[in-house]
Amino acid sequence: VKQEFKIFCLVPDLPAPADIVSICEEIHRNRWYTNFGPIATRFESAMAKFVGRIEGESLGAACFSSATTALELMLRAMQLPKGGKILIPALTFPATALAVINAGFEPVLGDVDANHWCLTADTALAVHKRSQLACVMPVSTFGRPLDTKSWLEFQADTGVPVLLDVAASLGQQSIPEGLSAVFSLHATKPFGVGEGGLAVTSDKELLARARSLSNFGFKGSAGVVQAIGTNAKFSEYYAAVGLRQLERWSDLEQRRKQVLGCYLKRITCLGGQVELQDGIGDFVPAVFSVAVNGANAGLQAAFANAAVQTRFWYLPLLNLHPALSDLQVSGGLQNSEYLARSLIGLPFHSFLSENDISKVCRILSDSV
Ligand SMILES: Cc1ncc(COP(=O)(O)O)c(C=O)c1O
């Protein structure tokens, strides 16, 4: 039976058709619709500046058909030891693991931090001492920006390269020189264009190899396959939406900040029953998951009874997906397992009213 919700968990906020007409006309005049066209090139330059605006002055950016394909092709382009182990958190969207497997590597699952719910460089170091890692892919859980300083140090100390899966944190996460990262442009992300992935790195050769893999492994103009690639190119139309989204970003972010502020004011009154992701408020998350001390299943039912949609984001944990049940775990998953019983994603998007937020918080306070 289809559940009719009065308050939806996530509503994408993309530019209106009227706002992209002129740039679509430009695409049409160019007769250039994909294959690294002028609009995608313009978008990539703008995004390199946007992502690196605090730290990464000389970042390069390349767009792909999705963050999943961008992660897979960046891993393949990193020239890691064949079949090597790649550490990822157990609490992440399945695409993190799928990109590793599809690129020909072996995922190893590590626990996340109890407070900010991300994999840490200390955990990675402990895993690396037990079994040699080829790479680490930390994830910006629910869009919480990662501590890039600790990952730069990890890379320097161990020589193990790091690829940040920052799919959900475009607009929140700045990338410094020396780290490579992949953002998602999927419609459900705060900075959505429809479908797409954005890889950023100061390693221009790495970016060129990944880009070539997205175009069948062709290099140069002759259409000669130099590596076994695929088709993971980015459409000019999505780039057009992206350029408009960039113009709307500060307004969009402001509205999301207001919604978050409204929530935080009310939730902090509930005391310790509702745990928030550490640092929230200093950043605006992509999705708003809170932890309710082992009681997420009952709470979802209470919300559903009131026609409020909630989601169990990044659940089940990776090793509980049937096709991923044989993944290796290193060092136990105590925090992730607690979070699997406790996390619930509340409605969070730019169209929520104060009344909606009051209603959600009332149900929350009545049920915890
Ligand atoms: C952590 C993480 N990694 C990767 C992805 C994949 O992104 P895309 O849908 O653009 O392939 C997502 C998407 O939700 C994600 O949350």
pLDDT in tens, 279-311: 999 999 999 999 999 999 999 999 999 999 999
In this structure, what token pair is assigned to residue 289? 């998951």
pLDDT at 93 (0 to 100): 98
What per-residue confidence (pLDDT) applies to 313?
96
Q: The pTM is what?
A: 0.97
Residue nearest to atom 7 of ligand 1 (CA): 67
Answer whether 96 contacts ligand 1 (Cβ < 6 A): yes
Find the length of the chain: 368
| Pocket probe mutation, ligand 1, options 169, 184, 186, max atoms within 8 Å of Cβ | 184
pLDDT (0 to 100) of residue 234: 98
Burial of 258 (C-beta count, 10 Å sphere; 0-12/13-18/19+): middle
Dihedral sign, CA of 56, 60, 64, 68? negative
CB 189 less than 6 A from any atom of ligand 1: no
Q: How far is the CA of 341 from the centre of ligand 1 (A)?
A: 22
CA distance 168 to 173: 9
Q: What confidence score (pLDDT) does residue 273 get?
A: 86
Q: What is the pLDDT of residue 200?
A: 97
Predicted pLDDT of residue 58: 82
Tell me what pLDDT residue 53 has: 74
Residue 133 has a pLDDT of: 98
Cα(94) to ligand 1 centroid in Å equals 8
In the DSSP assignment, the letter for residue 58 is T
Residue 168 CA, closest ligand 1 atom number: 16
Q: 360: Cβ below 6 Å to ligand 1?
A: no
Cβ neighbors of 353 (< 8 A, separation 6 or more) are none
Of 53, 51, 69, nearest to 61 by C-alpha is: 51
- Residues with Cβ within 8 Å of 169's Cβ and at least 6 positions away in sequence, in order, are 140, 143, 144, 145, 146, 183, 283, 286
Query: Does residue 140 have its Cβ closer than 6 Å to ligand 1?
Result: no
Q: What pLDDT score was predicted for residue 41?
A: 97
Taking the centre of ligand 1 as the mean of its atom positions, its distance from the CA of residue 62, in whole angstroms, is 16
Q: Which residues of the chain have pLDDT under 50?
A: 1
Could you write out the DSSP letters of every residue in 195-220? S-EEEEES-HHHHHHHHHHTBTTB-S
